[in-house]
Amino acid sequence: MQLITLDDITAARERISGSAILTPLLHSASFSRMTGRKVWLKAENLQRTGSFKIRGASNVITGLDAPTGVVAGSAGNHAQGVALAAQLAAVPATIFMPSSAAIPKVEATRSYGADVRLGGDDIQAAVEAARHFANETGARFIHPFDDPGIIAGQGTLGLEIVEQLPSVGTIVVPVGGGGLISGTAAAVSAHRPDVRIVGVEIASVAPYAASRGLEHPLSVPYHQTVADGIAVPVPSELAFRHIERYVHDIVTVDDREAAQAVMLLMERAKLVVEGAGSVGIAALLEGRLPASPDPIVVVLSGGNIDPLLVGKVLRYGLEAAGRYAWFRVLIPDIPGQLAGVLNLIADLGANVLTVNHRREGAGLPFGTTELGIAVETAGPEQTTELRTALAAYSTG
C-alpha cells in the first residue's frame, strides 16, 4: 500500500489555497502555566466550516477531471467540508445524513449549496447510501478519511505548523478516522523527523490504540461519547499504515476529561471547541504525553458543537473539574430545616443552582424530606468540604 508523499501534500496545498485559510497558531499562557510546558494551540476550529475537513475535501474536488458531481455520507464536519469545497469549485454535491443529524449541521450543509438527503439511523447508513448513489450516478464518492487525496489535503496542516513554529518539539492531534493525523505526520516527518507526533483517541472508541503493532487495524464497538466527531469504530487500512509509520504514540482520554477540556478552552482560551477537537488538551492536562519535548502544539481540530449540547457538555466538564456537584440530603420534615441546609451551603461559599424538595414516595422514612441540590463551587476542595458537611447534616 503506497503512502502519500511530501510532493502530494505540497501539490494539495496549491490546490486548496483558494478554499482553506491559514489558521492561527496561538500561544496559550494559561495552559502553559497549568502544565509547566510551552503550549501552543493550532486553532483549526477557526477554519472555514469550523473544522479541518475543508482541506481534504477541497484537495479531492479540485483535483477531479471534468467532475459530474460528488457525494458523501456524514453527520457533521465532513458534510460541511465537502459541501463548501464543491460550491467553491462549482461542482454539484449530494450529502446523505442520518435522520438524527443535528438540525444546525443539516442547515449549515444546505447553506453551502449541497443537496442534503436525510435517511437511516446512523452514519454508516448514510455512508452506504452515498456509495449506492455514486454507483448509480457516477458521482465521485468522497470518503471522510480512507482516501489518499483526503489525507494529502489534511497534511497541509502539518506544513503550516512547522512553518509557523519552526522550533516545535511535539504535535498533538485528535484521532478519529485517522486522516488528519496521517497527513499531518507525513508532512512533519518530511521536514522535521525529530518532532514527536502524538495521536489522541476517545477511550470508549479507540481502534488505533488497540491496533498498535499489529499487522492490520482492529474494529471496536461504538459507544456514545461527548467526542462524537472522532468516535469511528471501523478504522482505515490506509490511515493505519501512515499511523504505524509516522506516529510515535497513541493515547486516550475519557469523556469527563474531554468535557473538562471543552470547558477550559472556553474559559481560559476563549475558544469554542467541540468534544472531538478538545481531546489533545485533555491529554496534555492529564499528563498523557510520553517523552514529549517542548514547545507543544495541540491541534484543535473543530468547533462545530451543537448549541443544544453546549450547556450539557459544559455542566459535565464543570462536574469533572469539581466545580459543579449534586447532593442528596435527607432532613426532618419540620419548619426551618431547608433554610438550615441552604445557610450551611452559603456559609461555605458555594452557590445553589437548583433545589428539588420531595416529601413522599421512593420509600422515604415517615417524617423525612429529600432534597436534591445542584451546587456551583470554586473547585474540588470546596466540593469535598460541602459533601462532608452535608453528609453530617443529613439524617439518611
**Amino acid, res. 70:** V
Instruction: Give 105 or 34, the one with higher predicted confidence.
Output: 34
Q: pLDDT tens digits, residue range 88-109?
A: 999 999 999 988 787 888 999 9
Task: Render the burial of 140-174: b for 16+ CB within 10 Å, e for the rest.
Answer: bbbbbbbbbbbbbbbbbbbbbbbeebeebbbbbbb
Confidence of residue 120 (pLDDT cuts 50, 70, 90): confident
Q: 72 near 98, Cβ under 8 Å?
A: no
Which class would CATH give 6-51+149-318? alpha beta
Residues shown for the chain: 396
Residue range 252-273: mean pLDDT, rounded: 93
Least confident span in 79-93, 313-327, 345-359, 380-394: 313-327
CATH 3.40.50.1100: which residues of the chain? 6-51+149-318, 58-144
Give the model's pLDDT for residue 389: 86
- What pLDDT shows up at residue 176? 94
Least confident of 86-90, 269-273, 293-297, 337-341: 337-341
Q: What pLDDT, on a 0 to 100 scale, did the predictor assign at position 346?
A: 86
Is the pLDDT higher at 345 or at 11?
11
**pLDDT greater at residue 99 or residue 44:** 44
Q: Span 145-150, mean pLDDT?
A: 96
Residues 6+ apart with CB under 8 A from 368: 330, 331, 332, 333, 395, 396
**Tens of pLDDT, residues 205-234:** 999 999 999 999 999 998 888 898 899 998
The answer to whether the CB of 339 falls within 8 A of the CB of 346 is no
Q: Do residues 201 and 250 touch, judged by C-beta distance below 8 A?
A: yes
CATH number of this structure's domain 58-144: 3.40.50.1100
Lowest mean pLDDT among 163-177, 246-260, 355-369: 355-369
- The residues that bridge with 40 in the sheet, in sequence order, are 27, 297
Distance CA 298, CA 26 (A): 10
Percent of the chain with pLDDT over 90: 64
Is omega for the bond preceding 365 within 30 degrees of 0, making it cis?
A: no
Superfamily (CATH) of domain 322-393:
ACT domain (3.30.70.260)
Least confident of 1-5, 186-190, 295-299, 313-317: 313-317
At residue 321, the pLDDT reads 72
pLDDT in tens, 332-377: 888 888 888 888 888 888 888 888 887 766 677 777 888 888 888 8
pLDDT at 362: 60
- Read out DSSP for 58-112? HHHHHT-SS---EEEE-SSHHHHHHHHHHHHTT--EEEEE-TTS-HHHHHHHHHT
Q: Where in the chain is the domain with CATH 3.30.70.260?
A: 322-393
What's the confidence (pLDDT) of residue 103?
83
- pLDDT category, 33, cuts 50, 70, 90? very high
Q: What is the bridge-based pairing of β-strands 351-358 and 39-43?
A: unpaired
Of the pLDDT bands very low, low, confident and very high (cuts 50, 70, 90), residue 15 is very high
Residue 379 is predicted with a pLDDT of 80
Stretch 31-60: mean pLDDT: 97
Encode 264-285: b = buried (16+ Cβ within 10 Å), e = exposed.
Answer: bbbeebebbbbbbbbbbbbbbb
Of 64-68, 149-153, 249-253, which gets the smallest average pLDDT? Answer: 64-68
What pLDDT does 271 receive? 95
Question: Residue 163's pLDDT is what?
Answer: 98
Per-residue pLDDT for 277 more than 80? yes
